Amino acid sequence: MKLTLHHVNLATFRAHLEAHGIPYSDWGNRAVAGWHQIFFHDPDGTVIEVHQKADGAP
């Protein structure tokens, strides 16, 4: 299972994860042009994706 969330300020969200010691993978926009994506796992191992539309993306 995977959960995907849209966030308006990914930098703030990354700072929140870091403040709580939660590891994440920052994929940038390599997977989907126009979207900046990060991934992390919940305590049960579910993959959670959080993404933000890149500036100027359609």
Q: List the domains of the chain with CATH numbers.
A: 2-53 (3.10.180.10)
pLDDT at 56 over 70: no
CA 27 to chain centre: 8
The set of residues, in sequence order, having a beta carbon less than 8 Å from that of 31 and lying 6+ positions away, is 37
pLDDT at 23 over 90: yes
Three-state secondary structure call for residue 16: helix
Q: Which pTM was predicted?
A: 0.79
Q: Are 2 and 20 in contact (CB under 8 A)?
A: no
Tell me phi and psi for residue 55, to 5 degrees: -55, 135
Instruction: Convert the pLDDT of each residue in 6-17 to its tens digit.
Output: 777 899 999 999
pLDDT at residue 9 in the model: 87
CA 38 to chain centre: 3
Amino acid making up residue 20: H
pLDDT at 2 over 80: no
Q: What is the mean pLDDT of the chain?
A: 86
31-50: average pLDDT? 90
